[in-house]
């Protein structure tokens, strides 16, 4: 088992064997910069990936374009960063040659912005840079195609590229080349340039490597989780009827920066009333106003947020009553969800299938069903039990706030468990970041309220 004691964002946090640290939290909040993964770890990742593609070459491209004016910062392609640690290098290509057991980095000239060369972003090619970065060669961008062709000529026939967690939109009607989707565009470019090679997805390989986190990654993610918990407490205290969702989003972004982060790891979802339903909130990706709405008395608000730091993300959330008080039916429905969630937590440890976690949560609802007193609570139980696996959504957290989930929990996996359901016009949702260990688990987003009474006490501050 890893050593899991870290001094960081809010003092000392130690590994536990099960129950989350309970609110209230009397520890004063002090910000701290997120740690970063040491260079030797990136070299080890490259070596592991090389061993998993013995018949070919894994080709990973850095983010090809600058950040937009609307983004808080340049966010590197997650897989390129995972294997290089180069968070501020656009356009580069990493070639992990499994057949030759070597790593090669192809670097473009310094990029231009407003017609000006961006200083200090270009890398000098040659052995000195290769030694410093821990790769076999650092070559010029224009050498890439010739190098790949030479390896194909030497017998390499398989080129691996990264895949997407979800299908990417192509941006064109059927029969046309894609104009959208970075991974789709990269694969299309590789297939067009190297027709003699077979192009395969390396998504499963990369997913397997990223599923279990190192001690350094855990330290970064713990800091991000605690910063996100600070942001959630901040918005809970600020939330009120008459506030625009946009105002609540601003509270989250500010709190992430106060906590030592770079900003939100994804733009906050502070969705109120009908906007909190999944069928509504997904529209935010296509709406100029991000589904902005004035929060009304009686609304439940989905606060689904993450703070970014150390090139890693976070994902934490709660359902908050806009008025500061749950109705009796909302209270019973929420506490039912909490009981089910804690039942899932109780079985989390390395070696446990993800479906076992979901089954434990479901059994808790079945056991509580006969004791429910309100009609909304009884409807909530029926809604939960009639729902599919989506009710008990679980995903990984790492460089991406939302990463792939493998079937079995492993020592070092960091997951977000986010059960949710809708009933009587209300949407209920809960999410924590959880570290899996051989002995159990640790809730990284520690000292947040769970029960309805705890949430109400926080909001009354």
Looking up residue 188, the CATH number of its domain turns out to be 3.40.350.10
Is 289 contained in some domain?
A: yes
Same domain, 291 and 327: yes
Helix locations, 239-374, DSSP H? 245-258, 278-281, 328-346, 354-368
**Residues 137 and 102 placed together within one structural domain of the fold:** yes
How many Cβ atoms sit within 10 Å of the Cβ of residue 73?
11
Expressed in angstroms, the distance from the first to the final Cα of the chain is 39
- DSSP H or E segment with residue 11: strand 11-13
The pLDDT assigned to 165 comes to 82
What is the C-alpha R_g of the chain? 23
Residue 327 belongs to some domain of the structure: yes
Q: For position 12, what pLDDT does the model report?
A: 30
Residues 152 and 228 placed together within one structural domain of the fold: no
**Residue where one domain finishes, among candidates 209, 232, 252:** 209
Asked if 88 and 66 count as a contact pair (C-beta separation under 8 A), the reply is no
Find, among 306, 162, 303, 134, the residue nearest to 220 by Cα.
306
Q: Considering the domain boundaries, does residue 1 fall inside one?
A: no
3-class DSSP assignment, residue 54: coil
Residues in CB range of 223: below 8 A, 6 or more apart:
6, 8, 9, 32, 34, 35, 260, 309, 310
Domain harbouring 265, CATH code: 3.90.230.10
**Do 458 and 229 form a contact (C-beta atoms < 8 A)?**
no
**Residue 59: what are its φ and ψ, rounded to 5°?**
-110, 115
Q: Residues 6 or more apart from 192 whose CB is under 8 A from it? A: none
Query: 25, 456 in Cβ contact below 8 A?
Result: no
Q: Tell whether 194 and 306 lie within a shared domain.
A: no
If DSSP codes are grouped into helix, strand and coil, which group holds residue 379?
A: helix
Q: Give the global pTM.
A: 0.92
Of 209, 231, 266, at which residue does a domain stop? 209
Which distant-in-sequence residues (6+ apart) come within 8 Å of 342 by Cβ?
A: 19, 364, 450
Q: Does one domain contain both 302 and 447?
A: yes
Q: Are residues 226 and 134 both part of a single domain?
A: no
The last residue of a domain, from among 209, 231, 249: 209
Asked if 372 and 414 sit in the same domain, the reply is yes
Helix or strand or coil: residue 7? strand
Contact 395, 405 (CB under 8 A): yes
Other CB atoms within a 10 A radius of the CB of residue 26 amount to: 6
In whole angstroms, give the CA distance from residue 423 to residue 440: 32
Number of domains forming the structure of the chain: 2
Give the domain range for residue 102.
Answer: 39-209
CA distance 277 to 266: 18
d(CA 376, CA 368): 14
pLDDT, tens digit only, all 461 positions of the chain = 333 333 233 333 334 444 455 666 655 566 555 578 999 999 999 999 999 999 999 999 999 999 998 899 999 999 999 999 999 999 999 999 999 999 999 999 988 888 888 888 889 999 999 999 999 999 999 999 999 999 999 999 999 999 988 888 999 999 999 999 999 999 999 999 999 999 999 999 999 999 999 999 999 999 999 999 999 999 999 999 999 999 999 999 999 999 999 999 999 999 999 999 988 888 999 999 999 999 999 999 999 999 999 999 999 999 999 999 999 999 999 999 999 999 999 999 999 999 999 999 999 999 999 999 999 999 999 999 998 778 999 999 999 999 999 999 999 999 999 999 999 999 999 999 999 999 999 999 998 999 999 999 999 98
How far is CA 250 from each of CA 269, 285, 375, rounded to the nearest angstrom?
11, 17, 36
Regarding whether 178 and 124 lie in a shared domain, the answer is yes
């Amino acid at each position: 088992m890893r050593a899991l004691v870290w001094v960081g964002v809010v003092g000392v946090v130690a590994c536990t064997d099960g129950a989350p640290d309970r609110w209230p939290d009397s520890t004063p909040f002090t910000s701290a910069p997120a740690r970063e993964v040491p260079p030797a770890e990136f070299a080890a990742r490259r070596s592991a990936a090389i061993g998993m593609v013995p018949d070919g070459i894994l080709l990973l491209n850095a983010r090809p374009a600058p950040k937009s004016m609307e983004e808080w910062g340049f966010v590197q392609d997650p897989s390129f960063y995972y294997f290089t640690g180069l968070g501020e290098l656009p356009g580069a290509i990493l070639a992990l040659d499994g057949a030759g057991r070597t790593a090669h980095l192809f670097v473009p000239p310094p990029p231009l912005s407003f017609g000006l060369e961006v200083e200090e972003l270009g890398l000098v090619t040659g052995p000195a840079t290769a030694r410093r970065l821990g790769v076999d060669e650092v070559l010029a961008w224009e050498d890439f195609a010739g190098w790949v062709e030479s390896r194909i000529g030497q017998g390499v026939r398989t080129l691996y590229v990264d895949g997407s967690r979800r299908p990417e939109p192509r941006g064109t009607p059927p029969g046309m080349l894609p104009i959208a989707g970075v991974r789709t565009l990269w694969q299309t470019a590789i297939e067009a340039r190297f027709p003699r090679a077979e192009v395969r997805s390396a998504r499963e390989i990369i997913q397997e490597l990223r599923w279990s986190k190192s001690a350094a990654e855990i330290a970064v993610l713990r800091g991000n989780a605690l910063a996100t918990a600070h942001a959630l407490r901040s918005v809970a205290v600020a939330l009120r009827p008459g506030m625009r969702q946009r105002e609540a989003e601003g509270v989250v972004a500010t709190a992430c920066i106060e906590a030592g982060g770079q900003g939100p790891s994804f733009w906050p979802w502070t969705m109120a009333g009908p906007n909190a339903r999944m069928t509504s909130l997904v529209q935010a990706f296509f709406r100029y106003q991000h589904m902005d709405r004035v929060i009304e008395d009686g609304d439940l608000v989905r606060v689904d947020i993450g703070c970014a730091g150390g090139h890693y993300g976070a994902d934490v959330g709660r359902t908050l009553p806009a008025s500061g008080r749950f109705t009796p039916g909302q209270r019973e429905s929420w506490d039912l969800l909490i009981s089910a969630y804690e039942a899932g937590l109780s079985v989390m440890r390395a070696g446990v299938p993800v479906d076992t976690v979901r089954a434990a949560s479901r059994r808790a609802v079945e056991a509580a069903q006969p004791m429910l007193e309100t009609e909304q609570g009884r409807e909530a139980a029926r809604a939960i039990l009639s729902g599919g696996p989506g009710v008990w959504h679980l995903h990984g957290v790492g460089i991406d706030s939302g990463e792939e989930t493998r079937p079995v929990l492993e020592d070092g996996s960091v997951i977000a468990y986010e059960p949710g359901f809708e009933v009587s016009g209300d949407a209920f949702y809960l999410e924590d970041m959880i570290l899996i260990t051989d002995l159990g688990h640790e809730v990284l987003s520690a000292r947040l309220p769970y029960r309805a009474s705890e949430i109400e006490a926080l909001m009354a501050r």
